[in-house]
Amino acid sequence: MPAGDFFDFAPLDRERLRLTTAVDLAVGVACAAVIAGWLAGHPLFYTRVAPVMSPFTALSLLIMVAVRQARLHLETWPMVLSLAMVGLVLGGNLSSMLMLSTMPAALWSSFPDLVLTSVMTSVGLVCFCAYDMVVALRKTPESAFILDDLLLHLALVPGGLSLLGFLLGNPTYLSVHTDPRVGISLLEMACLGLYAVAAAVANPQLFLWPFLAARPSNRVVFAGLFANQFVAPLVVALVLSKPGASGPGLELFVMLAGVVTTLTFLVLQARLLRRPAVATP
């Protein structure tokens, strides 16, 4: 059996390794502190009237950063262990989504000492898990279908939407359920955002990196697309939405349009760059 079929070691250059390790360390420390707070009976930033970071969310992120750091630092780290641990997080969050969607709210909200992971948080974690499993199973190919970039970008959408909900005071975008503690807190948003940064830095073969490095105009265009996806919805919401209103508004559709535009643009650019040159007579 070739070594690459068993071991999941993914070496990086020194700068990328140091940055990824530092960011993952920050996420790991924050998640460990959240778990310790719940175990001690004094959760961090706890309130009964607003979203609180769930210990299950913290445990999911802690496992995921531990797996990534093991892949980056341990030459004999087995691939099967990476897949098993990431699969555990994936299955747990899918189960949490199913439970919140099917069980009576009065049942799971009747446990005062337990806060579940919100559906929107689980969606982001599931996308991150899918990305991590894809990266572990094969080297990122030079393909027109940039699955790695697409999964990583989609994983950012719940966080962007929740940030929009925080700025607008909209509980729907914060994935707040019957229990107001179940949702996306600021600490949760920060941890998910940092995890995405480390995931991108740890994969130098993402299509986005050579695309941005190719020419300054590419960076300008991508910055415009990014602003269209996350800034334009906020502007629309501030102009058209009432502060504190619940439910989806026009800003949601503006954000979804921005997501589709960005993903379509990246896929088309990858297709153009990967297209074989036409032989000239």
Would 244 be classed as within a structural domain? yes
pTM for the structure as a whole: 0.84
**Mean per-residue pLDDT over the chain, rounded:** 82
Would 281 be classed as within a structural domain? no
- Looking at residue 162, the DSSP 8-state letter turns out to be H
Domain with 120 in it:
3-274
* Confidence check: pLDDT of 27 > 70: yes
Q: In which element (H, E) is residue 258 found?
A: helix 250-274
Cα separation of 89 and 17, whole Å?
Answer: 24
pLDDT per residue over 181-220, tens digit each?
788 888 888 999 899 999 988 888 888 888 888 888 888 9
What is the dihedral angle through the alpha carbons of 179, 181, 182, 187, rounded to the nearest 10 degrees?
A: 170
Cα separation of 123 and 93, whole Å?
Answer: 8
Residues 6+ apart with CB under 8 A from 130: 90, 151
Would 280 be classed as within a structural domain? no
What pLDDT sits at residue 274? Answer: 66
- Looking at residue 49, the DSSP 8-state letter turns out to be S
- Helix (H/G/I), strand (E/B), else coil: 7: strand
Would 20 be classed as within a structural domain? yes
**Structural domain tally of the chain?**
1
Would 214 be classed as within a structural domain? yes
Would 279 be classed as within a structural domain? no
Cα separation of 4 and 143, whole Å?
Answer: 21
What pLDDT sits at residue 254? Answer: 85
* Confidence check: pLDDT of 22 > 90: yes
Task: Find out whether 251 and 236 touch, Cβ atoms under 8 Å.
Answer: yes
What pLDDT sits at residue 7? Answer: 64
- Give the CB-side neighbour count of residue 22, counting CA atoms within 13 A: 7
Task: Find out whether 17 and 150 touch, Cβ atoms under 8 Å.
Answer: no
pLDDT per residue over 162-189, tens digit each?
877 777 777 777 777 677 778 888 888 8
